[in-house]
Amino acid sequence: MFDTLLPYLLAGISVGGQYALIAVGYTLVYGILRLINFAHGDIFTAAGFFMVYLAAALPPALAVPLVIILTVILGFTVERVAYKPLRTAPRMSIMISAIGVSYLLQNLMWYLTGGLARQYPVLPGLGDSIQIGSASTKVVTLVTPVVTVILVVALVLLIKRTKIGMAMRAVSVDFETAQLMGIKINNVISVTFIIGSAMAAIGSMLYFTNYTAVTPTIGAMPGLKAFVAAVFGGIGSIPGAMIGALIIGICENLIKAAGLTMFSDAFTFALLIVVLLVRPTGLFGEKTREKV
């Protein structure tokens, strides 16, 4: 029994870790702007394409940092161009803008890549096969959880211990007051997008090492799942996002193990709906009350 489930469990933990890295971007942005950044999944895809093209021309040691830098620039630009002008607009407008950006990025990637699936390059070390017990898997399966935990811990420390982290926390509690206290909110928001994009870039390297084809719309589903993970863990909470992502990754793969692959996506959303109804604030979220 355990032997048959082991590969699925491993895959679940691994993909969960990858979702976690995407989910961090959602949860940070939502915590500060109250915006579901629908374009985040497409930024994740873009990171995949950056690697496809860069790895063809450069050695991995150069390509990897460059991919992260390009992704960060993309995330930063999206925020400045599409979200910043709507700072005072109703929340619905920003969300529509996010959907518009997602649409634009997908179409742009289709145009630039010709719409065909591209083969993701094999990153040295990550793509090798190894044997764990009875299961054979790629090295990335083991690397992912380690990388995820390290990054999440580093991020939590950043938010708890540093000045910019304190500013981020202040802005997420009260936008306007933080502004009055002299916090440059635009900088804080930019940093949030930079961190989120960098995490998505690292996540994409791990993810596409497993699922090697990159297409313009491939990021949509992992993006939505990562968002669900962020909601599940309690939006705004980084450890919550990680735990939520791991649970989703594992459950999804167990459902595949049960032969219901068709429902592995649907399960995520069913989980989302149950969480929203039973505990809208997620596992670690805080409650807010509207003033009458």
Partner 1 sequence: MKKRGNRRLIISLAVVALIYVAGFIVEQTCGSKSMAVTVLQKGAVYALIAVSMNLLNGFTGLFSLGQAGFMLIGAYSYAILTIPMAKRAAVYQYYDGGIVQFTIGMIPALLVAGIVAALFAALIGMPVLRLKGDYLAIATLGFAEIIRAFIQWDAIGPLTNGSNLLKTYPTLKTAMPGNTVLFTFIVVGICIGLILLLINSTYGRAFKAIRDDEIAAEAMGINLFHHKQMAFVISCFFAGIGGALLAMYQGTLQANGFKSAMTYEILLIVVIGGLGSVSGSIIASFLFIACSEWWLRFLDTETMIGDFKVPLLAPGFRMVAFSVVIMVVVLFFRKGIMGDRELWDLGSRRKAKGGSDIK
Residues making contact with partner 1 (CB under 8 A): 34, 36, 38, 81-82, 85-86, 89-93, 95-97, 99-104, 106-108, 110-112, 114-115, 217, 220, 224, 227-228, 231, 262-263, 265-266, 268-270, 272-273, 276-277, 280, 290, 292
Report the nearest approach of partner 1 to the CB of residue 107 (Å): 4
Report the nearest approach of partner 1 to the CB of residue 165 (Å): 25
Q: Kindly provide the b/e burial profile for residues 95-132, where b requires at least 16 CB atoms within 10 angstroms of the residue's own CB.
A: bebbeebbeebbeebeeebeeeebebbebeebeeeeee
DSSP state, residue 84: G
Q: Which CB sits closer to partner 1, 56 or 108?
A: 108
Report the nearest approach of partner 1 to the CB of residue 101 (Å): 7
SS3 203: helix
SS3 264: helix
Structure tokens given for 116: 């065909």
Q: Which CB sits closer to partner 1, 131 or 288?
A: 288
Q: Which CB sits closer to partner 1, 105 or 152?
A: 105
Its sign, for the CA torsion 141, 70, 239, 36, is negative
Between CA 209 and CA 204 the distance in angstroms is 8
Report the nearest approach of partner 1 to the CB of residue 105 (Å): 8
Structure tokens given for 83: 């979200």
Between CA 76 and CA 78 the distance in angstroms is 6
Q: Which CB sits closer to partner 1, 116 or 153?
A: 116
Q: Which CB sits closer to partner 1, 25 or 121?
A: 25
Report the nearest approach of partner 1 to the CB of residue 113 (Å): 9
